[in-house]
Amino acid sequence: MSIITDEINRRRTFAIISHPDAGKTTLTEKLLLYGGAIQTAGSVKGKAADKHAVSDWMEIEKKRGISITSSVMQFEYEGFCINILDTPGHQDFSEDTYRTLMAADSAVMVIDAAKGIEPQTRKLFHVCAMRHIPIFTFINKLDHDARDPFDLIDELEHEFGIGTYAMNWPIGSGVDFKGVYDRVNHRILTYADAHRGRDRLSAIECEISDIEKLDSLIGPDQREELTGQIELLDGASFDFDIDKVRCGKLSPVFFGSALNNFGVETFLESFLKLTTAPLERVAGESIVEPTDEHFSAFVFKIQANMNKAHRDRIAFMRIVSGKFERGEEYYHVQGGRTVKLSQPQQMMAQERSIVDEAYAGDIIGVFDPGIYSIGDTVCEKGMNIEFEGIPTFSPECFAMIEQIDSMKRKQFAKGVNQIAQEGAIRIFFEPDSGMEKVYVGVVGQLQFDVLESRMKNEYGVEYRQFSQPYTLIKKIPDEVDPSSLYLYEVKWVKDVRGQNYLLFSSEWSLRYTLEHNEGLELLPYGNGGNM
């Protein structure tokens, strides 16, 4: 095999998804610890020490202790080059998570052992299922009182319609949590609350039939319960099938405690063996293989002001095929131009380092002077390919904002335009009103808080906000003159690209407009990928 193929085959690119507070960011940081990427994990709730998760870099993330935007982190572990995509858990940031999943080859789903499947977990799973992404499940917080593990497994199978295979099995929970039994390797990993991952845990080889040894390790009562549960699992659960795992039909399940670093290392080692190297991608009529020697990539995220020292804008690209080399000229398909990807970087949340080369599966960040959009393709000249577009979510909440200090007009304009170009917060204007009346459209209400925080911290601008009654948005076809339409209690706005839209307060308002404008056919927002 060539050096390029070797490099690609050792890469693993996956997203971590969960409902808020299930422990996703904590698990991410413990994985980074094993790779030596960080030396101490920040506690999301560690106010006294003023610590925060390394993947949470926005001011509002640090203050609220939640992930608001996806973070990219790369590290090495036992010969593998790992790209982790840490995603927001809150439903108001679903679109960012969805786009990030488009760049992943597999997903790790974190579930709170006391709560089971929660609404956001359900939604994100269905996104993975749509793309047949392999899903690995980490049932977290076994050091707290938990639901019956059979109930949790049963819920996974019935809610998601997939099979599960418990790679290990919990021995008690909460104050009675003794550890896990490794079904694959027939050994016990014992839990001690004082451990917290300071040393590598040593597994104790033990067959499930060795009553005397089990009694000495976990006591007769828990031994009896464990042996009965394993017998039931062996007789009634799905058989392990690696092909089903890799097409998203069977989810390997692991139990542990991310906060206490229990079960994380064994999970990581099993995951790296079971998951795949970078996968192929569809580009029109073609399938682009990762080992194709020609470089190609697509933009899945744009982020401004990640680092206060730089104040620039970064386009995140998932490399689909071949090898990227710094200084080479590539072709931006949508822009129809040759580009030199300036200052190519690999990420550790907001920290960055310049790279000279990268391979299929890697995520790189490049300086964006304002030419890239979500879903754009960059490739070697002559390839002439275009990857499938990334669907956009239609905004459902709207507000009008107006600046308070007229002396900061330029900062206000720069802020709303740059944040709009990232794609998660939509900015609209009344025709011919300039910056006098700016309308904001978002998927969830919490995005309004993000905009306010970012405008204040990144651009030094404060504004007044007025809620709007609109809940629907439709695009006016390019050939239609909006000024010729009969509009009643409907708002006509333009976006930053000059496209015309109508905002409606209800389905009735939409029907009324169509009835009173004969022949008018409105288009869905964006490319119609509303979730």
Q: By the 8 A CB rule, do 111 and 140 touch?
A: yes
350 vs 366: CA distance, rounded Å: 13
Tally Cβ neighbours within 10 Å of residue 338.
Answer: 10
The predicted-structure confidence for 456-476, as pLDDT tens digits, reads as follows 888 899 999 999 999 999 999
The predicted-structure confidence for 196-218, as pLDDT tens digits, reads as follows 544 555 678 778 888 888 888 88
User: What percentage of the chain carries pLDDT values higher than 90?
Assistant: 39
Chain position carrying tokens 């040393």: 199
Which residues on neighbouring strands pair with residue 107, listed in sequence order?
Answer: 15, 135
State the first-to-last Cα distance of the chain, in angstroms, to the nearest integer: 42
355 vs 337: CA distance, rounded Å: 23
448 vs 439: CA distance, rounded Å: 11
Which of these, 275, 79, 253, 126, lies nearest to 182 by C-alpha position? 253
Query: Distances from the Cα of 258 to the Cαs of 121, 164, 268, in angstroms?
Result: 18, 21, 12
Q: Residue 92: pLDDT band by 50, 70, 90 thresholds? A: very low
| Domains recognised in the chain with CATH numbers | 3-274 (3.40.50.300), 281-379 (3.40.50.300), 397-515 (3.30.70.3280)
Lowest mean pLDDT among 45-54, 136-145, 270-279, 421-430: 45-54
pLDDT greater than 50 at residue 173: yes
The residue type at 152:
L
| Cα R_g (the chain), whole angstroms | 25
User: Whole-number mean pLDDT of the chain?
Assistant: 83
pLDDT greater than 90 at residue 7: yes
What is the SS3 string spanning 240-281? CCHHHHHCCCEEEEEECECCCCECHHHHHHHHHHHCCCCCCE
* Cα 60 off chain centre by: 18
The residue type at 327:
G
Query: Distances from the Cα of 318 to the Cαs of 226, 394, 441, 529, in angstroms?
Result: 44, 24, 27, 20
Stronger pLDDT, 20 or 243, i.e. the higher one: 243
pLDDT greater than 70 at residue 42: no
What is the average per-residue pLDDT within 18-46? 70
**Token digits for 333?**
């398909």
The pTM assigned to this predicted structure is 0.80
pLDDT greater than 80 at residue 145: yes
Which of these, 89, 56, 76, lies nearest to 350 by C-alpha position? 56
**Token digits for 6?**
């070797």
Chain position carrying tokens 């858990």: 89
The predicted-structure confidence for 276-293, as pLDDT tens digits, reads as follows 899 999 888 889 999 999
Stronger pLDDT, 59 or 456, i.e. the higher one: 456
Query: Distances from the Cα of 388 to the Cαs of 83, 295, 298, 318, 394, in angstroms?
Result: 22, 17, 9, 13, 19
pLDDT greater than 80 at residue 65: no
Stronger pLDDT, 268 or 56, i.e. the higher one: 268
Q: By the 8 A CB rule, do 491 and 472 touch?
A: no
DSSP string computed for 301-327: EEEE-SSTTT--EEEEEEEEESEEETT
Q: Helices in 279-438 by DSSP H: which ranges?
A: 409-422
What pLDDT, on a 0 to 100 scale, did the predictor assign at position 347? 64
pLDDT greater than 60 at residue 478: yes
pLDDT greater than 70 at residue 519: yes
The predicted-structure confidence for 356-387, as pLDDT tens digits, reads as follows 899 999 999 888 888 888 889 999 988 888 88
426 vs 165: CA distance, rounded Å: 42
Could you give the angle at the alpha carbon of 163 between the alpha carbons of 160 and 167, nearest 5°?
A: 120
Which of these, 120, 104, 124, lies nearest to 13 by C-alpha position? 104
